[in-house]
Every structure is written in structure tokens, then in C-alpha cells.
Chain A
């Protein structure tokens, strides 16, 4: 059984203009120790999907359908104390711009011991010892646990946040844009750290990013989201080698490649659709270069094109 099974997940938001269907039926499985990338433009629902798994949706958001199964438990049934026990101990999350999420008036060490003491009945010395180990793991001098957040640089604060997410030895870590606010050099350091940690600790990871090249470097599996749906899903190598959906092709083509020839990348014209009044047919039809009449009327299902490679487009051939 997979560690995490998401099937038919729908997450909607109530707004004044109507119901916003931020996530509209997505499925994926994640095994122990696997890293999956979730890619897409801003507003495609990738962060909402992650918040749904953690049950951290804002007050006007709700899960309208589908199921999330984590380690055999149905997450919709888990509430109150039980939910609190799962968060951080089993699943933890590193938020976007996380380095600004540290409390500026508390020592970083204390901020990390707090969840350990809350979740596990251990002595404070044991917790502090673990924090020192965690610091070593993420590449910070353990003697710095007594320092305050302002004494750390951006990259170091991001490391502190990663140490904090790992404090209770979770099985699944969700990283929401872990390197977006960082410099290229620091980004390379953090990505390498995440990859090493994932292999060393056999962590399952969901990495959310709009930057395909970041995911290409860290993830084994890759799902491409567009307007609340997964439009293509496979291993990262397969998606890059053999993209099926026109949107995936567009996204890959939009990246300048420093190792390739020198030419201006192609952009995808237009904007994503309004998710309050989502279009009837394929959601990408309006921006798609190969769209036909059928695309505007009928929504294409996600079908298996090659072994383990799924795509949702009228013009891909289903595997027999």
C-alpha cells in the first residue's frame, strides 16, 4: 500500500462571486522514500492541493470530494487531537518564504525543541540533543542553536526551517517553493541538501514549484497541474524525454537552457482560465496550439499513454 493515496481530490473555495474550484479532481500515489514534483503556473492549485493533505485550508475552503489516504487512515475522518498528532510527527510542511516564518524574538533552538516536546514525551535535554543533531544534518554549526533568526542569513534560515520540519522524524515532507526566494548558489546548496536528506532518511517528499528545472534536479516523479487538474504525470525523466500534453511541451519549451543553443524560449500565450467559471471542455483549449472543436466541448480524461505515463488530452493515444 502506498504511503499517500490521493484520489479524486476536489478542493473548493467559497467566494463572493461563486465557488472557486481550485483543485478539481486530482489523483496520485506516493510511496515511502519517493519524491514527487508538482509543477504549474501560479494559481493552478498546487499549494491548495498540499494544504488539503495537511488539512490546513483557510476557513472558506473545503474538501468537496475525493479521498486522501495517509498510511492507511482516511484523512477526512481524522480530526482534533488525532490530526494534531499526525501533523509534524508524520507529515510536515515547509512553507513558501519559510525563512520569514521564524519567530524573531525566540532562539531558533527553542523554536525547534517546541514541537519535539509537544509530540514526544522526552526530557528537554534529549530534545536539545536532537536539535543539535538536526543542525548538523542540515549543515549548520550546532553551537548556533542559541542564536536568534536575525543572526542567520536567508539560506541558513531556510536550513533551520528544514531542520524544524524534520524535528519529529516525519515520513512525508511537503516543500512549497523551497528555493524561490533564494539565490542560485544557495538554491543549489538547499536542493542538494533536500536530495541527500530524502535518500538518507527515506523521506517521501512533495516538492511544489513553478520552476520545472528545480524539479528536474530533485524529483523522481513529476505531475504537471493546470487549472486545478493534473494534465500529465509520470517519472521526471519520462516527462522530459517524452512530453505528451501540449501544456507540458509548452512549459518545457519556456525554459532557457544554458547548456543548449542560444535562442529565445517560447512562451505560452494567454492566461489560465477563471476557476469560478471554468470552461466546459479542456481547460487548456484556449491557449492550446493544436486545439480542435472537440476540445471546447468535451473534457479529455487522464489516460495511460505509455506504461506509467498519464496524460489528459484528446490527441494522445491510450495504451492498449
Chain B
């Protein structure tokens, strides 16, 4: 059986809304922006799992919360300790108990399952774990420091983690990473600055920076949306190659369903902090069940004027995550909303072995 490398269970990231002085005196209820509000999924080893949704649906926050670049406020994230020895896990767990982050039972459970609960891991152990979990950012024009050479950018993670015995060993690792990212020969690129290379090459530098620590799991946050269409598939192919060669697992975050369609193994559709539909890519795109998924698929522009399809254009924009509607959170924009949808939140229902959807229209086929 294929191992799960990432298990996310009921993940929550709530940001408190800042209150003015007077408001805090009148002791109004503290409000939260519920960016991620109970998200559960798992990613198998060597799988590409894709989160799709409109901006502000919480997909980036989910990715960051898994790496603890933002602190989750609830739920669990587990990383099957491929990169960490059992001793390391044990020590991390006992420290967490010491600091009263978790109870002893929870700690024991963590160790027996052979997984590390990312959410309760002490900060310094998280740093170790992050060597195995890296992120590729969206905009290669903004995420690279213009004053650093490509060598410095790629070597930075080694410096931060105190890896590589001496400069020449570091250089070797940087060269290897650049070579893996398709910047060949590495010596030609190492001493250049970001402005001296093209957009596609910049994104390759970003990928090299993630690869230099030899991670097992990568979060790719819209890695191609800032690039010209003509070079997008080059970067996607590079990522597929890396999976073949290095056995990488990806969490791929995008708003572009057509990219998700050709690239990922499974898709999760997010709306307002929750996954509303999840399943194998082909099944979700060819047989969507949730009205939101159907609408999203219908509005993807087709690269052919002869193809005329009926579009389901949703009215208005997504509601504010500080004021999530009661019942099904999609009901104010849903063309099929019923009375029930306004009152109660639908539970996930399996429609096939691996494909589930949260919608009242799909009720009664077995609970997830």
C-alpha cells in the first residue's frame, strides 16, 4: 500500500480581527477571519495533490500552515517521518509535553504511528523537518532578492540550516541543485543576478533553492501563474521529472483548473476555507458533482473559438471569510440552493471510492 506522506485533519487557521480600543471595552465578541476552517486531506507518497479555488479561499494559507509558516489554530498536520529518525521524533514529542503543547497520550500516539505532528512540534525540530518540506513561491520576480547572486540565493538554505562542511562542499550542492532545476551548465548561472535571467529561469532558481536541501515534499504555490504560457509547461515538466527522479511529493496550489487538470493526480476544490469536493483529477473534471466545481469548470476559457459551452457565471463575489454564511457556505451563490442549505452544513459524501463531495444534492450515498 502507498504510504501517506502528509495527513491533514480538520486544519484550522483563524486570524483574529483587530478591535479598536472602544470596541474592546464594550466587550463585543472577538471576530475571526476563518481563512482555513476545517480542511482534511492526505497526500500519498509521490502524488501531486492540487488545491484549486478562487483567491481568498484559503488555499495558500493551507499550504503555509502545513509548513507552519503560519501557525494553525486547530486540527493536526502529520508528516510521516521519512526524514526524521525515531529518536528525533521521540525527543520532539517529550519536549512538546514538557512545554504543555500536547498531553502525554498524544505524544505517545505520535510516536507509535511513526508520524510527526507538525502542529505541536517544537520550533527547532520544525526547522529540521522543514529540510524535508520546502515551498516554491508564486512570483519569481518578487521572491528572489535582487541584490543576491543566484549562488547566494540557492546557498541560503544551507547557511541557515548550517549544512555543508565548507564552502566548496556547499558549492557542489548548489551546483547539483541548479543542475537538477535545469539551469545547465550551473557555472554559467551561479554568479549571475536575478535580473540577468528570464522569467522561466527565475522560477527555476526558486525551484533550485527548494531542492538544495533535498526535500521529500514540496508545496508549490501557483508556480506558473506569473509565467508566459509558452514556458509554463516547461516548468511543469521539470516538476514531473523531479518527481520521477527524486520521488518528490507535491501539494500544488493553483486557481487555474486547466493546469490542475493536466498536472495533478487528485484535486481538492476549496471554497471559503473548506474543501467542497475532492477526488481523482479525471473524475472531478469530467464528472463534477458540486455546483461550485461545475461553475468553475464551465468558466475556464477554452483555447478555441469554435467551442461554445454554456457558462455558469456565478453572481457576485465570494463572501468575506469573517462572515461565513450559515448552513452550506456556498448557498448564497448557489443556483440550486434549497431551504435545507441555509440551515445545515452538508457532510462529505462519497460518490465513488475516492471521490467525495459536500453538498445536499448528493445526500444519502454513504457518509465519508
Contacts and interface: CB of A to CB of B under 8 A. Distances in A.
Interface string A223-240: 000000000000011001
Given A185-B296, A210-B228, A264 B237 contact: yes
Given A184-B256, A188-B311, A258 B233 contact: no
Contact of A216 (B295, B304, B309): B304
Given A250-B230, A251-B230, A254-B232, 4 more contacts: A41-B230, A187-B299, A192-B311, A264-B237
A213 B54 contact: no
Interface in B269-323: 281-282, 285, 295-297, 299-307, 309, 311, 313-314, 317
B54 A255 contact: no
Given A153-B317, A185-B313, A256-B258, A213 B301 contact: yes
Interface string A243-264: 0000000111011111100111
B229 interface: yes
A256 B262 contact: yes
A194 to B, nearest CB: 13
A259 B307 contact: yes
B232 A216 contact: no
A78 to B, nearest CB: 34
A240 B297 contact: no
B285 to A, nearest CB: 6
Contacts of B261: 256, 258, 262
24 contacts: A41-B230, A42-B199, A153-B317, A185-B317, A186-B317, A188-B313, A192-B313, A212-B229, A213-B303, A216-B303, A216-B304, A236-B305, A241-B306, A254-B232, A255-B303, A256-B259, A257-B303, A258-B257, A258-B302, A259-B302, A264-B236, A267-B234, A268-B231, A271-B198
A269 interface: yes
Nearest to A212: B303
Contacts of B255: 183-184
A211 interface: yes
Chain A, interface residues (CB within 8 Å), range: 35 or more
Chain B, interface residues (CB within 8 Å), range: 35 or more
Contacts of A65: none
Interface in A77-99: none
A210 B256 CA distance: 15
Q: Which of B200, B299, B305 has the most CB of A within 10 A?
A: B305
Contact of A211 (B234, B301, B311): B301
Interface of B: 54-55, 198-200, 228-234, 236-237, 240, 255-259, 261-263, 281-282, 285, 295-297, 299-307, 309, 311, 313-314, 317
B306 A217 contact: no
Contacts, number: 121
Contacts of A155: 317
A252 B305 CA distance: 12
A2 to B, nearest CB: 22
Contacts of A186: 54, 317
B303 A267 contact: no
B303 A264 contact: no
Contact of A267 (B233, B262, B300, B313): B233
A276 to B, nearest CB: 15
Contacts of A264: 233, 236-237, 240, 262-263
A263 B282 CA distance: 11
A199 interface: no
Contacts of B200: 271
A271 B231 CA distance: 9
Of all A-B residue pairs in the complex, the 4 with the closest CB atoms, nearest first, are A213-B301, A188-B299, A255-B303, A213-B303
Interface string A1-13: 0000000000000
A160 interface: no
A252 B228 contact: no
Contact of B230 (A183, A188, A240, A254): A254
A240 B303 contact: yes
A241 B305 CA distance: 9
A130 B39 CA distance: 47
Nearest to B296: A184
A208 to B, nearest CB: 14
A262 B262 contact: yes
A258 B228 contact: no
A216 B300 CA distance: 12
A262 B258 contact: no
Nearest to B261: A258
A266 interface: yes
Interface string A34-52: 0000000110000000000
Contacts of B234: 267, 269
A257 B302 contact: yes
A258 B229 CA distance: 15
Contacts of B300: 184, 213, 258
Q: Which of B231, B236, B301 has the most CB of A within 10 A?
A: B301
A266 B231 CA distance: 9
A250 to B, nearest CB: 7
Contacts of A191: 301
A297 B230 CA distance: 25
Interface in A262-284: 262-269, 271
Q: Which of A156, A212, A241, A255 has the most CB of B within 10 A?
A: A255
Contacts of A42: 199, 228
A302 interface: no
A212 B302 CA distance: 9
A241 B303 CA distance: 11
